[in-house]
């Protein structure tokens, strides 16, 4: 059952989403070679707590960390650990918070140093595809229109692998609500989008093939071919004419550009052509 939110509820969700954005900005400021993912996760937990919120992910179905930190060929749900980030790594930082009983949940992929042009292009195209999908998140369209837009830009135009096993989702007082939002699909298919529906739209795109596997820990998802994967995610409210993006990448992008250890692919300017 899809739960549409009132305007007041959407504004509360915007506060939750923006706290995730602020946390991701704080992460962008400290990323560098030599830092451990476990220390990043601790900072994330402390930052969220300092802002009178709770990490959505901690203890969710037994997940033991504050965040998901997925490096290189890890698609999503990467466990933080004592391993140090290295020059040329990419890392998807996926964070959720509960603030005033409402969830915020989104992600951003960073490049630590230069991972090479092929991976930088994958980052740029995946980020573009997120906004392509968001453009379709308007009342009267269907879930398949979002997935089609993402798939067309990444798989059909650039030949990347679109992960099938993992999807975006509705968001609200529960972290995962209906509908599921795949990153592939057919135009005009799936549930109809209604005004006030809040979605976490999150392309997960592989440099190589689409196939993935889950490690023995039951969480960490990797590409089967060992090639890099990129993940971006925004919280979006469906509206009549134009989707309302509740989260905000602008401060993250500024921090990314200011950090000499990060290589940026730049801001995506809407509308896309």
> pLDDT tens for residues 126-181?
999 999 999 999 999 999 999 999 999 999 999 999 999 999 999 999 999 999 99
Which tokens belong to 100? Answer: 């005033």
List CB contacts of 78: < 8 A, sequence separation 6 or more.
37, 68, 69, 70, 71, 92, 220
> With a threshold of 0.85, does the pTM exceed it?
yes
In a domain, 270, yes or no: no
The residue segments making up the domain with residue 103 are: 7-263
Q: Is 36 inside a domain boundary?
A: yes
Alpha-carbon span 160 to 220, nearest angstrom? 21
The enclosing domain of 19 has a CATH number of: 3.90.230.10
272 in a domain, yes or no? no
Find out whether 265 and 163 touch, Cβ atoms under 8 Å: no
Q: What is the pLDDT of residues 25-80, one digit of tens each?
A: 999 999 999 999 999 999 999 999 999 999 999 999 999 999 999 999 999 999 99
The C-alpha atoms of residue 242 and residue 53 are separated, in whole angstroms, by: 29
2, part of any domain: no
Per the domain annotation, does 108 fall within a domain? yes
* Residue 143 token pair: 């879930």
CA atoms within 13 A on the CB side of 35: 19
Check whether 270 has a pLDDT greater than 60: no
Bond prior to 179 in cis (omega within 30° of 0): yes
Domain count, the chain: 1
Asked if residue 269 belongs to a domain, the reply is no
């Amino acid at each position: 059952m899809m739960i549409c939110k009132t305007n007041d509820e959407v504004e509360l969700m915007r506060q939750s989403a923006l706290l995730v954005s602020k946390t991701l900005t704080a992460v962008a400021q400290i990323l560098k070679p030599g830092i451990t993912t476990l220390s990043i996760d601790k900072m994330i937990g402390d930052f969220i707590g300092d802002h009178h919120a709770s990490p959505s992910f901690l203890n969710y179905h037994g997940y033991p960390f504050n965040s998901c930190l997925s490096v290189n060929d890890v698609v999503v749900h990467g466990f933080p650990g004592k391993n140090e980030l290295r020059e040329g790594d990419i890392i998807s930082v996926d964070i959720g918070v509960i603030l005033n009983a409402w969830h915020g949940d989104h992600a951003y992929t960073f490049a630590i140093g230069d991972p090479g042009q092929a991976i930088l292009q994958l980052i740029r195209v995946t980020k573009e595809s997120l906004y392509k999908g968001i453009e379709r998140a308007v009342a009267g369209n269907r879930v398949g229109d979002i997935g089609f837009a993402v798939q067309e830009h990444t798989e059909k135009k650039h030949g990347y692998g679109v992960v099938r096993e993992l999807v975006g989702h509705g968001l609200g007082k529960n972290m995962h609500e209906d509908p599921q939002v795949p990153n592939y699909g057919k135009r005009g298919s799936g549930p109809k989008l209604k005004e006030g529906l809040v979605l976490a739209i999150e392309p997960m795109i592989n440099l190589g093939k689409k196939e993935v596997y889950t490690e023995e820990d039951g969480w960490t998802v990797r590409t089967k071919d060992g090639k890099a994967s990129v993940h971006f995610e925004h919280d979006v409210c469906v509206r009549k004419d134009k989707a309302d993006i509740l989260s905000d990448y602008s401060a993250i992008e500024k921090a990314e550009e200011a950090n000499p250890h990060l290589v940026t692919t730049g801001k995506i300017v809407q509308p896309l052509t």
